[in-house]
């Protein structure tokens, strides 16, 4: 198996600093990829995302040094434990009455298996072979108010969109002592592309255009080309947030 990847992370046009943190690394048939988006408008968003990134990076370094032949699901549990520790670390340095946190979407590749761990509204997409073009599937669900069925029961779509809580995060690393995340996993059976991104990408790049570029990026030689086109589209539409995107191309 061969893993190729490319990373984009920029401040955009509407922020004073880049509060996104990204990380990508692979070693043979094992790889780890992370997008962490510090919560804009709150305290120390950049510090929160950097906390997650640095802890994951430290774990990866130790993992590679030890060369331990560990079960796929054991590694997932260790990564979840790192995220939980990051959650507590952020809570510990956040002053009373203040809020700090970061979204997380993380892709773990081990031999012929993958897992996506998410908390917040950063996303992961997968592109696999279709009859004519690649089929694009969003693997994550945004942890926002309107995606909780109990919040919107009996409401019309227009009422939901006009609600004060529409789009509000209900889960992120560092915002609640009771940390939780979502894990999805499966096997890699064919050539596959994964795309991890912060909301600064998908909010400023129309979904049809974004998905078309993901389909084209299934060819490894087009990874950088398609990433540049998505970047250009985001800037053309204002780029009012930080923007981060990771392409991970896997060939069996």
Residue 41 has pLDDT above 70, yes or no: no
Q: What is the pLDDT of residues 198-209, one digit of tens each?
A: 999 999 999 999
Share of the chain above pLDDT 90, in %: 75
Question: Alpha carbon of 69 to those of 59, 103, 108: distances in Å?
Answer: 15, 30, 15
Other CB atoms within 10 Å distance of the CB of residue 248: 25
Give the pLDDT of residue 5. 97
pLDDT of res. 146 = 84
pLDDT band at 13 (very low <50, low <70, confident <90, very high): very high
- 216: Cα separation from own chain's centroid: 20
Using DSSP, state whether 104 is helix, strand or coil.
strand
Question: pLDDT of 75-131, one tens digit each?
Answer: 999 999 999 999 999 999 999 988 999 999 999 999 999 999 999 999 999 998 754
Helix intervals (H) in the chain:
45-66, 72-93, 149-152, 157-162, 199-202, 207-216, 223-236
Q: Using the predicted structure, report yes or no on whether residue 132 has a pLDDT greater than 60.
A: no
pLDDT of residue 195 exceeding 80: yes
Residue 22 to residue 244: CA distance in whole angstroms: 7
Q: Read off the pTM.
A: 0.94
Residue 58, pLDDT score: 98
Please give the average per-residue pLDDT across 49-76, as a whole number. 92
Tokens 């990829």 map to which residue? 33
Rounded to whole angstroms, the Cα distance separating 85 from 223 reads 34
The lowest-confidence range among 73-82, 148-157, 214-223 is 148-157
Mean pLDDT across 27-38: 95
**Mean pLDDT of the residues in the chain:** 93
Question: Any idea of the CA torsion for 56, 59, 60, 64, to the nearest 10 degrees?
Answer: 180
Question: How far is 222 from 126, CA to CA, in rounded Å?
Answer: 16
Q: Per-residue pLDDT averaged across 55-62, rounded?
A: 97
Hey, what are 106's tokens? 């993380």
Residue 182's nearest CA partner among 220, 139, 132 is 139
Closest CA to 36 of 98, 79, 77: 79
- What pLDDT, on the 0 to 100 scale, is given for residue 133? 65
> What is the per-residue pLDDT for 229?
98
Question: In terms of DSSP bridges, do strands 243-251 and 123-128 run parallel, antiparallel, or are they unpaired?
Answer: unpaired
Per the CB < 8 A criterion, the answer to whether 247 and 193 are in contact is yes
Q: What is the pLDDT of residue 30?
A: 95
């Amino acid at each position: 198996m061969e893993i190729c990847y490319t990373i984009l992370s920029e401040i955009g046009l509407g922020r004073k600093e880049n509060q996104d943190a990204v990380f990508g690394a692979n070693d043979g048939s094992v790889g780890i990829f992370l997008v962490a988006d510090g919560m804009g408008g709150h305290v120390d968003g950049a510090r929160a995302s950097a906390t997650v990134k640095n802890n994951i990076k430290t774990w990866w370094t130790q993992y590679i040094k030890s060369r331990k032949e560990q079960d796929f699901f054991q590694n997932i549990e260790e990564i979840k434990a790192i995220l939980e520790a990051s959650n507590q670390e952020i809570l510990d340095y956040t002053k009373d009455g203040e809020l700090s946190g970061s979204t997380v979407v993380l892709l773990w590749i081990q031999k012929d298996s993958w897992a996506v761990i998410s908390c917040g509204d950063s996303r992961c997409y997968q592109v696999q072979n279709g009859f004519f073009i690649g089929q694009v599937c969003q693997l994550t669900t945004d942890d926002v108010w309107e995606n909780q069925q109990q919040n919107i029961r009996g409401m019309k779509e227009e009422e939901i969109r006009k609600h004060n809580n529409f789009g509000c995060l209900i889960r992120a690393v560092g915002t609640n002592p009771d940390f939780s995340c979502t894990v999805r996993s499966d096997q890699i059976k064919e050539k596959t592309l994964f795309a991890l991104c912060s909301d600064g990408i998908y909010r400023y790049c129309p979904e049809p255009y974004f998905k078309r570029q993901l389909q084209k990026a299934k060819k490894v030689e087009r990874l950088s080309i398609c990433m540049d086109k998505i970047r250009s589209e985001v800037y053309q539409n204002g780029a009012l947030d930080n923007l981060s995107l990771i392409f991970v191309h896997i060939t069996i």
